[in-house]
Amino acid sequence: MNVCAYGDLTNQWSQSHLRNPSFRALAADMSTQVESRAPSVSNASLDDKSFANRARGFAAGVASGITKLAVGHPFDTIKVRMQTSGSADGRFKGPLDCFLSTVRKEGVRALYKGATPPLVGWMFMDSIMLGTVHNTRMMLKSYNGDRPLSVFQHGLAGLAGGLTVSFVATPVEQIKSRLQVQYSDGAARIYSGPIDCARKIAKNNGVFKGLWKGLLPTMAFRSWFFVFWASYEVYSRELRKRGYSDSTVTFIAGGLSANTFWLGCFPTDVVKNRYMTQPDVNPPRFPTVRSVARFVYQTEGLKGFYRGFLPSFLRAFPTNASAVLAFETVMKLLHE
């Protein structure tokens, strides 16, 4: 058979099958499946190893950090005050009482106490974390060839981002938490602001031992970003199958993955914050992280590890949904 005859037969076969309703339905179904597996904007162009593509993850992280602070800091203040007060103190009956008491005694501005360190810090923190997540995805994609990243690989990228940013997050959270638990009742006021707080911590404990106190529990807490980004990918895939738009998928998946994250990591956060905010006395009340966990369990039981959980859980969805949406939007703008 010559080439022309073969081409005629192929063309006839194609035309006959394209007119076949079953064949057309199968083709449409396959197209839908491929679209449902389409990556989110932040996962696009992982094969592009240019400096611009590597850098845009860090740039988009800045937008995420600013958004996270604006939406979530008041919830965070209530959470930290609940975590560090303890039920035996009798200062707050619950999250609502903590909120009302804070506003009544200190004003609405008190909800943004300690906001300056994370305003600067979270821009760098989310830039470093999300930039690391993006670049780790690129590295993992190079081993996959044409195959998309698995859920586990997305989790590994989140783990890499969480552990890396811990070195920046520790001093930021140290200062933030101490300012948040500084109540406006006269003698209890120790720090005049974030710079004064950092100076006194360094003077009393040394620069590294003071500002980076709590590095290990911070790394343990932030290792849960494995769960955040793995679950984010799962939620994103399921939402895309249901035909939601990219922005809706990003917003909902970001919020749900944050709720999943906090369900698991909250006990670690409680221990971390109590360890960081203890007074600078010698000998320290809690010499080790384990001593904090032991004290919480002995005085409050297992429920003590979830003290302050409600404001954190309520904060998680809108804060992280908005932050991830900001990240994805800036990634898209920089890609265009």
Cα 179–chain centre separation: 22
pLDDT for the residue 7: 42
Measure the CA–CA gap between 36 and 213, rounded to whole angstroms.
Answer: 45
Evaluate if residue 165 carries a pLDDT over 70.
yes
Lowest mean pLDDT, pick from 74-83, 215-224, 257-266: 74-83
The CA-CA-CA angle for residues 179, 76, 133, to 5°, reads 105
pLDDT tens-place string over residues 56-71:
777 777 778 778 777 7
Who has greater pLDDT, 145 or 203? 203
Lowest mean pLDDT, pick from 73-77, 86-90, 105-109, 183-187: 183-187
- pLDDT band for position 185 (50/70/90)? low
The mean per-residue pLDDT over the stretch 251-280 comes to 92
- pLDDT band for position 322 (50/70/90)? confident
Evaluate if residue 25 carries a pLDDT over 50.
no
List of domains in the chain:
50-181+214-335 (1.50.40.10)
pLDDT tens-place string over residues 209-239:
889 999 999 999 999 999 999 999 999 999 9
Alpha carbon distances (Å) from 269 to 18, 88, 123, 226, 276: 59, 19, 21, 16, 10
Task: Tell which residue, 139, 42, 66, 49, has the closest CA to residue 334.
Answer: 42
pLDDT for the residue 45: 62
Evaluate if residue 90 carries a pLDDT over 50.
yes
In this prediction the pTM is 0.72
